[in-house]
Amino acid sequence: MENLRTDVVVVGLGAFGSAALWRLAARGINVIGIERQAIAHPFGSSHGSTRLFRVACMEHPGLTPIARKSLALWTELGERTGETYVRQTGSLNVGGPNSRPVKGARQAAAEAGAPTTDLTHDELHERFPQYELDPGDVAVWDPGAGICYAEPTVRAHVAEAEHLGATVYPNTMVTAIDLGPNEVTVRTPTVDIIADQVVVATGAWLSKLVPGVPLSPRRTPLFWFQPKDPASNAFRLGNFPSFIWEFGDGRGLWGHGSDEDFLVKVGLDGAERDRGVDPDELDRYIHPRKDITELSHAISRAFPDLDPEPVKLMPCMVTDSPDGQFLVGRYDERLVIAGGDSGHGFKHCAGIGELLAQLTTKETPYTDVSFVNPLRF
């Protein structure tokens, strides 16, 4: 067995790990990234074309600085690569005045200084007639929000890290991590890597490499739809920006329109099924009755001009933490982890990559990370 030595190993190069690799390489640190699959593969949580980007994050006001850091880093990277990683077309948080999207966005606005605008029911209806609103529905407009691009971003993080000197091993599975007093050994079938620190960001597989981490992967397919009238512009991104909408029963829809391929992405929130899955045994088939009926029904009710039959779908996974918040931080003297994306991590991944680099090198983090401390449970 060959042995290698480096400063830091990053295990798992999805959204979080690829960003950590980039931000560590940007500091001139000797870093090796290991990914079990190809880069930007469809078997984890970071595939498909887009994700919602929000600044007034309903999940926690502490996320606003992390989203802003992602935006700043991606803007800087885009200036170098000529690519766009975020499109800021704004987004709507819709629901009753006490719904989670509306209350949460207002709280982020108040506590984190994210600029937002309240829309009354009538203003919302006038500006966005695609929505079949309930009488009490209002909205909070988040102007800095929009969409971010998933697979191209993961590829760009890894390419930039390699450009800055990182070594990348795709298609290589880490089989064990042995933490010692003076070093950590990261084992693969072909090579053992000895390092000062390891960052583990293996998504739905995190608790397989770091036992005891309280995470629960959930099967969550991605769906795309088309307008009933193919000539309609009502669901182009500019007219149908990203949204999160909570209904009176606590369920809800999220999604966004599109300019590039005319596919409208919509997903259903609040499903109780398919929790606690084994990511190695994920059911990758789509079952029309189980997967589509409820979503199609919600779409027919909410957006009558959208054809409720999906035109494209893909299996995917969310990894839930007990409080719906990420686990990002130091877990051991030689181990930093990032996971528990809870379905809202992509927009934060570059900002989390920067935090992972800061925590690994024991710099002071650019923002408060106590709410994502992995030892909080």
Which residues here bind ligand FAD, judged by CB under 6 A? 11-17, 34-37, 44-46, 51-52, 173-174, 201-205, 209, 220, 222, 267, 316-318, 339, 341, 343-347
Q: Which amino acid is at 99?
A: S
Round to whole Å and give the CA distance between 35 and 40.
10
Q: Which amino acid is at 246?
A: E
- State the residue number with the nearest CB to ligand FAD: 14
Round to whole Å and give the CA distance between 31 and 195.
9
Residue-wise burial string across 272-305, b where 16 or more C-beta atoms lie within 10 A, e elsewhere: eebeebebeebeeeeeeeebbeebbebbeebbee
The β-bridge partners of 3 are: 192
Q: What letter does residue 288 receive in the DSSP assignment? A: I
Task: Give every CB contact of residue 293 below 8 A, 6+ residues apart in sequence.
Answer: none
Nearest approach, Cβ of 19 to ligand FAD (angstroms)?
8
Round to whole Å and give the CA distance between 50 and 149.
4
First to last CA, the chain: 38
Q: Considering beta carbons, is residue 203 or 310 the nearer one to ligand FAD?
A: 203
Nearest approach, Cβ of 330 to ligand FAD (angstroms)?
17
